[in-house]
C-alpha cells in the first residue's frame, strides 16, 4: 500500500538512475523505467510530469545541499546528463546521505500503469475470515 500511496499522492519529487525507454520518443517525457526516489517519481508522474520537472527538482536539491558537500554538481550522482541521466554506482547512496528520500522499494513504470490504467484491477488483499464470537485480529477462543 505504501507504493500506491506514493503513486496516488505523486509524493514529493523523485530522482536518479533512469534507463532510456525506446517507446518514449519525446525527450520532454521522463525516460525512467524505474523510480528510486520520491523526488523523481513526483516530478515525472505529477500534473506537470516531465523530464524538465525532474531536472528542475534535482537542480533545486543540488543547490539546497551544496553547503553539505563541497563541489556538489549533477555529475556527483550521474554518469551523464540528458537524455538518460545514468546514475553512478554510488549515486543513490550519495543522494540519501544528503537527505534525499529513497523509496522503500523501487517503483516501475509498469506498476504505475497498472494503477492508473482505466479498468485495471489490482490484486485485492486477502481478508481474514472472522469466526462467530470473534473480532478481526482476535483468534477464536480468546
Q: Where are the domains of the chain?
A: 2-116
Put simply, whether the predicted model's pTM sits higher than 0.95 gets the answer no
**pLDDT profile of the chain (142 residues), mean per 10:** 38 37 55 89 84 93 94 94 90 95 90 68 47 54 52
pLDDT at 68: 93
Q: How far is CA 69 from CA 8, 98, 102, in A?
A: 33, 8, 19
Q: Is the peptide bond before 51 cis (omega within 30 degrees of 0)?
A: no
Q: Which of 26, 23, 19, 24 is nearest to 40 (CA)?
A: 19
- Residue 65 C-alpha cell reads as 545541499
3-state secondary structure of 104: strand
Amino acid at each position: 500500500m505504501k507504493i500506491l500511496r506514493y503513486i496516488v499522492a505523486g509524493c514529493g519529487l523523485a530522482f536518479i538512475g533512469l534507463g532510456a525507454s525506446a517507446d518514449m520518443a519525446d525527450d520532454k517525457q521522463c525516460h525512467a523505467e524505474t523510480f528510486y526516489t520520491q523526488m523523481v517519481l513526483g516530478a515525472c508522474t505529477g500534473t506537470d510530469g516531465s523530464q524538465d520537472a525532474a531536472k528542475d527538482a534535482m537542480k533545486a536539491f543540488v543547490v539546497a545541499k551544496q553547503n553539505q558537500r563541497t563541489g556538489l554538481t549533477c555529475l556527483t550522482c550521474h554518469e551523464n546528463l540528458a537524455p538518460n541521466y545514468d546514475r553512478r554506482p554510488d549515486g543513490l547512496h550519495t543522494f540519501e546521505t544528503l537527505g534525499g528520500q529513497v523509496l522503500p522499494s523501487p517503483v516501475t513504470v509498469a506498476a504505475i500503469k497498472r494503477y492508473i490504467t482505466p479498468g485495471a484491477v489490482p490484486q485485492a488483499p486477502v481478508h481474514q475470515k472472522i469466526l462467530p464470537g470473534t473480532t478481526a485480529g482476535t483468534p477464536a477462543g480468546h
